[in-house]
Amino acid sequence: MRTLIALVIASLLALAAIAIAQPTVPNLPFHDSLRGTTPIGEETRAPLLAPTENKDVIRGLNYAQQPPTIPHKIDNYQLDKNANRCLACHARSRVEESGAVPVAVSHYMDREGMVSGHLSPRRYFCTQCHVPQADTKPLVGNTFVAVEDIKRQPASKNQKR
């Protein structure tokens, strides 16, 4: 019984010593992948935005049904439930005078596939799918090849047919 009490007291003393001990903090500057070396108590500075491409050049699509990118700046465009600045040029009734690409017929279809005379509410907010491009270097490498561009490789001797 005495050994059990001694064991319990020794365990409690060991736990108390661990609880009192201060953790050792490395003497290195704090570095967080999102904050960088900015101390926790200070605000980080937002990175500069890359300039938006403004070339009005239509890019090719990489796959069927890919939404085209926006080839011009859309800074300060009003795009909310009250107004859609994109339609000032891209509405089918305005493309002749603006020279812009018209909104696709698919944007006038409802969920049941019925075509109406006005833009479908689910297609009203253009930037859900269409995005402007920044004039910058890619962050990561890209080896994407469209399926049409893939050439058949000759079968190696070890492959079975």
* Tens of pLDDT, residues 105-158: 999 999 998 998 889 999 999 999 999 988 788 888 888 877 777 776 665 555
For the domain spanning 52-136, the CATH number is: 1.10.1130.10
Amino acid identity of residue 83, one-letter, is A
**DSSP alpha helices (H): ranges in the chain?**
2-20, 87-90, 95-98
Average pLDDT, the chain: 84
> pLDDT at position 36, please?
78
Helix/strand/coil for 134 = strand
pLDDT band at 1 (very low <50, low <70, confident <90, very high): confident
Tell me the pLDDT tens digit for each residue of 16-72.
Answer: 888 777 777 777 766 777 777 787 788 888 878 888 888 888 888 878 889 999 999
CA separation for the pair 51, 137 (Å, rounded): 11
Residue 89 has pLDDT above 80, yes or no: yes
DSSP 88: H
> pLDDT at position 156, please?
58
Residue 43: strand pairing partners: none
CA separation for the pair 97, 60 (Å, rounded): 24
Per the listing, tokens 């994109």 go with 86
CB 132 within 8 A of CB 69: yes
Indicate the burial class of 100 (C-beta count within 10 angstroms; 0-12, 13-18, 19 or more): middle
Average pLDDT over residues 77-92: 93
Cα–Cα distances (Å) from 8 to 5, 20, 21, 64, 133, in that order, read 5, 18, 20, 71, 67
Give the predicted TM-score (pTM) of the model: 0.60
- For a pLDDT cut of 90, what percent of the chain falls above it? 34
**DSSP alpha helices (H): ranges in 100-150?**
none
